[in-house]
């Protein structure tokens, strides 16, 4: 026991360093390219959420007074929520309220990004939506794109939500390292960003959208996650689409139709 304990103490800094390496490779925040509050469209309000002391999270709220449903949007690993404003507006036009979040260290949010920090940010956005904006749990959708899929999956655990939408999701950081040609060192990713581990805790309806030509997070990882989930689910493939062009004119009709069918009343039969 003593020898094992000493070995663990020796290895602990190594594992901590590996976690730091994974996170440095995961986050590419933009804190410079910001939209001034006065330049926001009329229907967009900038709100700030406080997940913990010393952290302030920027968010955009797009209201639809005719709807009792809301979608919380978790973006990918680069940029900030301002770069997704067009997507937020498109979703708002489908007839739901929308809250888009910039994680800690992104956009005008304070702090520094980390895996656990992003998960706390996701929960804080959910709590704010329920407690401050007044939406009930079963009227809340979560949408996570790319790395944001891990925030959506973590936040959705054991909740009776209206549904979860994952766009180009990964199964785990370890799997992702493998497809990036880092197979020999993929074990160093450990349990980071492990959507598979959270799959058993998903209760609500799920939609996954993935492009067949995605070379960043290949569609096989999205299918691996899909196969691990037992909740009601649907997998939509966008033929020929890559990782960053799902909403481009070539693929936009199929992409937005899948999302609209899921979140609007006409899509109830799909859930």
Active site residues: 146, 214, 243
* Residue 177, phi then psi, degrees to nearest 5: -60, -35
Burial 44-54 (b: 16+ CB within 10 A, else e): bebeebebeee
Nearest in space to 100 (alpha carbons), one of 130, 72, 140? 72
> Which residues are paired to 264 by β-bridges?
none
Furthest C-alpha separation in the chain = 65
Nearest in space to 210 (alpha carbons), one of 173, 233, 242? 242
CA distance 238 to 200: 26
205 SS3 class: coil
Two tokens at 65? 């007074």
CA distance 31 to 49: 17
Two tokens at 39? 């330049």
Q: Which residues contact 248 (CB under 8 A, 6 or more apart)?
A: none
């Amino acid at each position: 026991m003593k020898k094992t304990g000493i070995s663990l103490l020796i290895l602990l800094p190594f594992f901590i360093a590996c976690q730091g390496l994974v996170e440095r490779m995961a986050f590419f925040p933009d804190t410079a390219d910001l939209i001034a509050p006065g330049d926001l469209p009329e229907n967009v309000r900038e709100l700030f959420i406080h997940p913990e002391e010393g952290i302030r999270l920027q968010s955009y709220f797009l209201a639809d007074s005719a709807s009792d449903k809301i979608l919380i949007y978790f973006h990918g690993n680069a940029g900030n929520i301002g770069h997704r404003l067009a997507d937020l507006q498109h979703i708002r036009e489908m007839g739901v309220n929308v809250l888009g979040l910039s994680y800690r260290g992104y956009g005008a949010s304070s702090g520094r990004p980390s895996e656990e920090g992003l998960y706390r940010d996701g929960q804080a956005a959910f709590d704010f939506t329920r407690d401050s904006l007044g939406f009930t749990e079963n009227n809340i959708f979560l949408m996570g794109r790319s790395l944001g899929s891990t925030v959506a999956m973590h936040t959705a655990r054991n909740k009776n939500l209206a549904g979860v939408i994952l766009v180009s999701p990964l199964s785990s950081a370890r799997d992702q390292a493998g497809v990036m040609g880092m197979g020999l060192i993929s074990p160093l990713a450990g349990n980071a960003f492990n959507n598979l581990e959270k799959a058993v805790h998903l209760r609500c309806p799920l939609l996954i959208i993935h492009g067949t030509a995605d070379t960043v997070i290949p569609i096989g990882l999205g299918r691996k996650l899909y196969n691990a989930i037992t909740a009601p689910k649907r997998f939509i493939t966008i033929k020929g689409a890559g990782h960053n062009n799902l909403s481009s004119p070539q693929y936009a009709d199929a992409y937005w139709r899948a999302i609209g069918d899921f979140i609007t009343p006409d899509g109830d039969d799909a859930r």
